[in-house]
Structure 1
């Protein structure tokens, strides 16, 4: 039997197909009751898309079924239907599973999920803090205050509390400042947990031997890449992160354009920052020589992106071999 499961927030639409391709059951099930369905079809194959809430459902079903998780973007590209309803989607998933044509998505381990939750949670807090800082800048601009203030620093907040602006805007300003302080405290607490988690994992311990890679950067890279053994080589991991140049070929011409920017923008940004630190602050000879050679022929921004790509290649080989950062031993 092949179970196509179209998962939603509270329920799932399930289509059960037999070996001959015939639908033998269609049912809408509350997510909380999927375990009963899984037990009824124990040993069968099942497929569901990688939606926002699929972790728990995948783990529940996997106790009884052989579960495949489908990549949502790729499956939409190859699905043999123009209609989009729960029933149609569930049957299409079952059909593709029967034909062994499901584009699979990586299912992270519990350890990787926890790391992702930590670094992504921190990112959300930082974004919220920045939002309130921007609100303060807008509030000051509305009242003709153009002096450079920094709401994210203690000194900046003290200076802002000394400003005199009309009611009720003074109350708003105070509320924004209080929220920034509260968020800063929560970020600091989370930083302690992230540092502790990064220090406990062998992968992140290896990554922190790279000049310019902090505990937060290390845990983020680990969390977003997941198990390094799922990549076939350094080119695949570079493409996954979106640091690969887009190649355009026409006739005898071959043009290397900008990077693809697929995958995690957070990881790309952190790798570029780490490469900047390695080259300009930590005097990493391996990356510095590479950067200087490129910067003499291209602009500095392209050179530092290429250095970040070179660092990622090193990261792949470090994690693949279980070795600390040692550039002469890295096949880049």
Structure 2
């Protein structure tokens, strides 16, 4: 009866049907294809009940992907373990040129049994909703940029150049409204493009307001004002970083966070030869982009501007101290690397990597604050 003790179930998920394979425990345990089931909750519960009647312990896994984490939460709610595997870290045979749902499910079951899968962090439903809101704002912002480009292209074709420096401010919009165009058709096109740009901007504003309203009952709300003490990080970027990364305290040290964000150099070394290349770009790209954008603020000398003073004052004292320490170090390092001939883009990546370490330190301080307060 030993073969009825434990099994490992690999699930290859899709939109309508999930392929399921079962690997029995032990080195020589059989791996068999169970078949496909509907993605509905009822079908999944029926599958789990059937397997639970035959085996004492069930362990499930599937790849992280567009189907989300609903299946994992359902399996966990039924009292069984389920990991969501990182697709980029799943071992693959170089000579394997055949890919089917059945083979993928069987491969997942084998790798789960061997302990070769790396699980991703699974957010709760509330955190995932906040992440969707942050991503919606990112999408809306990209759409706003796309809406502005045709306006600039139209003016360039007509030989019209804005005499100011900063575009899309109040002066620039006033200049656009008072333009005298030769043909009515050109004025019509310009007005239509400006209407589309204005609507896209209003959409960004609505989503940002929704993010502010949602902060009140978010589990990571206390870390947001602490991160805003950092130079280059406002409310939106702080929410984006936290929504994408999740619980920062799950990383034992800053190096783990840097590796998770793909900000560490790649390496192909053999023998005595050590070859390091560009950053790995593994992990979450949205959080990495937010950090790189914030890193550009450190190219200027260390100081706290007038607009930043309120955010710094609202942050806890430990966060303010870490933020100022980071600003002094990173501003100095940005200029030093630039003087040494490094490209500004490479320097920004290096600063973003160190910035991640300071963000990790702030999260540690904020999480430890309630415990420290209660012990006094």
Please name the residue that 1:133 is paired with.
Answer: 148
Unaligned runs of 5+ in 1: 325-332
User: For 1:89 and 1:133, how far apart are their aligned partners in 2?
Assistant: 44
Q: Is the Cα contact below 8 Å between 2:9 and 2:21 reproduced in 1?
A: yes
CA contact (8 A) 1:152 1:180 kept: no
5+ long unaligned stretches in structure 2? 1-6, 304-326, 369-376
Task: Report the Cα offset of residue 157 of structure 1.
Answer: 4.6
Secondary structure of 1:212's match? coil
Residues 207 and 145 from structure 1, CA distance in 2 versus in 1: closer, same or farther, beyond 3 angstroms?
Answer: same
Report the CA distance between 1:193 and its aligned residue.
Answer: 2.8
Worse-matched range after superposition: 255-264 or 211-220: 255-264
Q: Map 1:232-311 to 2 at 5 A.
A: 232-247=252-267, 249=269, 254=274, 257-278=277-298, 280=300, 283=303, 284-299=327-342, 301=344, 302-311=346-355
Give the SS at the match of 1:44. Answer: strand
Give the conservation status (yes or no) of the 8 Å contact 2:231–2:298.
yes
Root-mean-square deviation (Å)? 3.3
Instruction: Return the offset for 1:106.
Output: 2.4
Q: Between Structure 1 and Structure 2, how many residues are aligned?
A: 323
Who is 1:147 aligned against? Answer: 161
Length-normalised TM-score, structure 1: 0.81
Q: Partner of 2:11 in structure 1?
A: 5
Q: In structure 1, how many angstroms separate the alpha carbons of the residues matched to 2:286 and 2:92?
A: 26
Q: Any conservation in 2 of the 1:18–1:24 contact (CA below 8 Å)? A: no
Query: Which deviates more from structure 2 when the two are superposed, residues 299-308 or residues 210-219?
Result: 299-308
For residues 318 and 6 of structure 1, what CA distance do their matches in structure 2 show?
39
Which runs of 4 or more aligned residues in structure 1 lie more than 6 Å from their structure 2 counterparts after TM superposition? Answer: none
In 2, Cα distance between equivalents of 1:25 and 1:255: 45
Contact 2:302–2:331 at 8 Å: present in 1 too? no
The Cα shift of 1:247 comes to 4.8
Residue 116 (1) aligns with residue 131 (2): yes
Tell me which moved more, 293-302 or 126-135: 293-302
How far apart, in 2, do the equivalents of 1:85 and 1:145 lie? Answer: 56
In the alignment, the residues of structure 2 paired with residue 34 and residue 75 of structure 1 have an alpha-carbon distance, to the nearest angstrom, of 24
Please tell me whether residue 48 in structure 1 is matched to residue 65 in structure 2: no
Q: 2:48 aligns to what?
A: 38
TM-superposed CA distance for 1:183, in Å, is: 1.7
